[in-house]
Amino acid sequence: MWAAGAVPFVTCSVANRVARNGIPAEVRLEDRACPLGCLGGDDPVLRSRDRITNLPGEYTIVRCRICGLMRTNPRPTADTMGFYYPDDYGPYKATQVDAPSMPSGPGRSFRAAVRRMLPQINDRARAIPPLPPGRILEIGCASGSFLHRMAACGWHVEGIEFSSSAAANARRLGYHVHAGAVEDVETASGPFDLVAGWMVLEHLHEPVAVLRKVRSWTKRGGRFAFSVPDCGALEFRIFGRYWYALHLPAHLYHYTPRTLKRVLCETGWRMDRILGQRNLYNLLPSIGHVLREKCIAERLARYLETPTRLEPVLRPLSWFMGTIRQSGRITVWATRVD
- Report residue 73's pLDDT band, with 50, 70 and 90 as the boundaries: very high
- Least confident range of 112-121, 209-218, 222-231: 112-121
pLDDT tens readout for residues 292-303: 888 888 888 888
Candidates 291, 281, 277; CA nearest to 326 is 277
Strands 42-49 and 253-254: unpaired
Give ∠ CA 164-169-170 in degrees, rounded to 5.
95
pLDDT at 308: 73
The model's pLDDT over 83-111, given as tens digits with 9 standing for 90+, comes to 998 877 666 555 667 644 444 444 444 44
The angle, 0 to 180 degrees and rounded to 10, between the axes of the packed helices 108-122 and 145-152 is 130
pTM of the model: 0.84
**37's torsion region: left (phi>0), alpha (psi -120 to 50) or beta?**
left
**Between 23 and 310, whose confidence is greater?**
23
Q: Where are the domains of the chain?
A: 90-336
CB distance 32 to 5 below 8 Å: no
Q: What is the pLDDT of residues 5-58, one digit of tens each?
A: 333 333 434 444 444 478 999 999 999 999 999 999 999 999 999 988 889 999
Of 116, 70, 102, whose CA–CA distance to 225 is shortest? Answer: 116
Report the CATH number of the 90-336 domain: 3.40.50.150
**What pLDDT, on a 0 to 100 scale, did the predictor assign at position 62?**
98
Residue-level pLDDT at 52: 87
Report pLDDT digits (tens) over 221-234: 999 999 999 999 99
Q: Give the mean model confidence (pLDDT) for residues 150-176.
A: 93
